[in-house]
Structure 1
Amino acid sequence: MASFEVIGGNKLKGDIYPQGAKNEALQILCAVLLTPEPVTISNVPDIRDVNKLIELLRDLGVAVEQTAPDTYVFRADNINLDYLETAQFVEQGRAIRGSVMIVGPMLARFGQAKMPKPGGDKIGRRRLDTHFLAFEKLGARFEYDSPESFFNVTTDGLKGAYMLLDEASVTGTANIVMAAVLAEGITTIYNAACEPYVQQLCRMLNRMGAKITGVGSNLLTIEGVEKLHGTEHSMLPDMIEIGSFIGLAGMTGSEITIKNCKIPELGLIPETFQRLGIKMEFRGDDIYIPEQDHYEVDTYIDGSILNVSDHTWPGLTPDLLSVALVVATQAKGTVLIHQKMFESRLFFVDKLIDMGAQIILCDPHRATIIGQNNQVPLRGIRMTSPDIRAGVALLIAALSAEGRSIIDNVEQIDRGYQNIDGRLNAIGAQIRRI
C-alpha cells in the first residue's frame, strides 16, 4: 500500500493541465465493442481505473495498440465470448465500477453479456436496477445469481422501446444508449442523464453511424441501425480534476492557471467555487485563479446560510462535494453541504475534524462547516483515503495544513488522478510517495 507524505503550507504557482475525463473514458472505451472496425481514442487518462478497463478489453479479445502516451487504437473484431466464463474475468469485472458498461455493447452486438457485481468507491449503495430493467424493456432476459452476485443477460434480438428511467443514471443512460443503437426500431429514453460525458458518447456513436437525437437533453431518441463503423474521438478534460484544482488554489492561497478547460462544458462548477469565495478569471479556455489570503462564502439574498448540494446535470456533480467541503473549512462564513446521492460519502470528515476543522456531521447526507477564515490553519495528521474524491480532498487539506501529513491508501487517488503528486510538485507542492 502506497502513501503520500505531504508537507503543507506552501503556496503553489504555475500552469497545470487537466487530464482526460475519467468518467467519459469508462463509457467511450466500452463503446469500442460495438464495431469490428478500428476506433482511435485520444486524451485517455493514465489512471488505474482506465488502465484496468483497457486490460479487461484486451483480455476479452480487443486488439489494443498504444500509438502515443494518451492515444490508443482499439479493434474489437475477434471477441472471445468464452472469456466471460473465466475466474479472471470475474476478478477484473469486480475491480472497477465502469466494467458494467460492457454489458450494453455486448448485448447489442453478440446477444449475450455476463458481469459480476462491479466494484468501485465505497460511498454507499449504488444500485444497477436502472441498467437491467431497461435491457428487459429492450427484449433481453435477465438473471441475477444472488449468492455469486453475478448478472447474466441474453437476447434473441433487441427491439426499440419507450422507457422512463427511474433515475437519471449516467452509467445507466450510457449503457442503455449503447444497447439501443443496434436494436431494431426506435428507442425513446426519458429522464436520461445529459452530462457532458453522455453527450460525448452520443456524438461519438453518431459519427460511427448511429442515429441519436436529443443529445444534451433528458429525452433521447435512438433509431437502431444494423452496424456501426470505426471513428476517432478525443476526451474532454476532466471537470472533476478542474474543480479540484480550483479548490486547491483557493485553499492554499496559490496563483494557478488551469489550461484548456473547455469552460462551456463545466456547468455550475466555476460558479459554485466562486460562491465559496474563490476568485477566478476566464482567459480564453483557461481558468486563472489569483493568489488570495482570504475568501468569504456568499449567502442567499435574505442572508441565510449557503447550501451546496449535488444535482443531476446541469447541477453540481456529487464528485466535487468533498472538495467543496474541504474548501469551506478555511473560508469566512458557514456552509451546509448536502450530499443527496450517496449516504457514505461524507464519512471522511472525521479526518478533517482531527486536523482542526469545525464541522458538524448532521446525518449521513449533511454537514455544516464553520469556516475559520484561515485564522486557525489545519494541522498535519496521518489519515487514510477512503475513496477517490475524498482522497483528493484530504490531499488538498494536507497541502494547506501546517506541518507534515501522511495519507495512506493513495491507490484510491491514483484510480482517478493521473500522476497527481508529480504534477503538483512541478508547481511547488511537497508530496513524496512512500
Structure 2
Amino acid sequence: MLAVEILESVNVIPDPYVRAVTYARLGEKLAKARNSLFKDAFMKALDVAHSIEDPLKMMRALLSIGYSMGRAGIRAYKKVFLQVFEDSKMLPPPARDELLRSAALYLLKLGEIGESITYAVEISNEKLRQETLVYIVRVIARSFEENPMKVAYRLRKIRLALDYITAEPYRSKALLEMIKALITLKSYENALAVLKDINSKEWARQAFKEVTFRLKESGVLDRYIESLEEIAGELVEKFGESFTLELGTAFALTGRGDLAVALLRKADNGLDLLKKTGIELLEKYPDVLPSFIEPLDEIEAEEVGKAIMNRILENPELGRWEVIRAIAKKTRSEEVWAKIARYHVLVGDVEGARRIGNVLQSSRLRSLVMADVANQYLKKGDVDRAIDAALEVREPRFTSMLISEILVKALDKELSESDSYGKAETVAGTKRR
C-alpha cells in the first residue's frame, strides 16, 4: 500500500481523537523518511483535532500532535503547545492540571527542559505540581549517565526546578536525585554539601547510604571519611539519636565496620545500638557482619556476641561460620562460647561442641554444654561417648542423674532392638516351616 493510500485510509477511523493522533504519528514517520506527504499528514491531524467537540479531548489530541511534530523536527510544535497552554485556561483546575502535566512531560521527552519546568510550575494542585517537578529532576539527573554534554546547563535546570519544589518529602527526593547526578559527575564535595540540606529523615537515610556506597564504588571513600563523619553528626543532631542506627548501618554496609562502631558507641545508648545493628546485619547483610564485629572492644563484643548468638539459636538458618568465628575471635566470654557450642550441636558438629565444653571453666556452663553433647551422642547410639561426656560434667549430682538417664535409655534401646530381632527370627522360622 502506498503512503498516500495509507493516509487516505486513516479517514475510516471513527474516533476523531484516535484519527488525529494517527495522522500525527504517520506524519512523524513520513518526515523522518523525508517524504513530503508529512505536511499533509500533520495538517489533517490538526484539522481533525480542532473538530473535536470535547475541549479537553481536543487539547489532549493537540498535545499528542505537537509531540509528534517535535519528534519530526518541526519547530512549529511549540506553537501547538502554547495554544493548548492559553486555551486550557478556560478549563477547571483538575483538567487543566492534567493537561499541563502531560505538556511538561512531552516537552521533557523532546529535550526542552526549561519549557517543561515552565509548564509544570503552572500546575495549581500542589501535590501534582511537586510530583511532576520531582519527576523532571529525576529524568535530568539520570541523563548524566548517558549524555555528558551540556552538564552545566542541566545542573542549572535542576536547581531551577528545586526553587519550586518546597514541600517535603518532595524536595528531599529531588535533592537525592541531584546528589546522584553530582556523584555521577564525580563532583563529590558538592554531593556531600547537598546531603546536608535534606530535611526528610527517610530520604536523608537513603541519601546517606547512596553517598557512602557510591563513594566506595568509586574508590574514594577514605578520602571523604572525615566529611561523612561530620555530616553524620549533623544529621543525628537534626533527626535525633535514633537516626544514629541508620547511619551506623550505612557505614557498615560499605564494609567500614570501624566507622559504624565509632559512630554508634558515641550515642547515650551506644551498646543497645551496637546490638541492634548487629542483629540487623545478621538478618539482612551477614556478609559485612565480621567487619562490624572486628573493631568492638571486649565488653561490646560480649554483649553483641550474645545478642547475635541468641538470634542464631532461635533461627539456626541465620548462622554463618565466618560470623561465628568473628565472634569467637573477639570475646573470651564463656557464656558466648557456650552458645557457640550449642550452635555446633544444632548443626551436627558434636565434636566441635565437646572441644568447647572441655575448655570451659564455669561449672554451670560446662555442665550445660557437656550434657547437651552427651544427649547428642546418645541419640546417635554411641553410649560410650555419651557416658564419657557425662563424666566431664563438673556438678556431681547433675553427672549422676545424667549417667543414670543415659543408662536407662541405652537399655531401652537395647531391649527394643532385641525385641525387634526376636520377632524377625520368629517370622523367618515360620516361613522355613
Tell me whether the two structures share a fold, i.e. TM-score over 0.5. Answer: no
Specify the structure having the higher radius of gyration (Cα): 2
TM-score (norm 1): 0.22
TM-score (norm 2): 0.22
More helix as a share of residues: 2
Structure ranking higher on relative contact order (CA contacts 8 Å, 6+ apart): 1
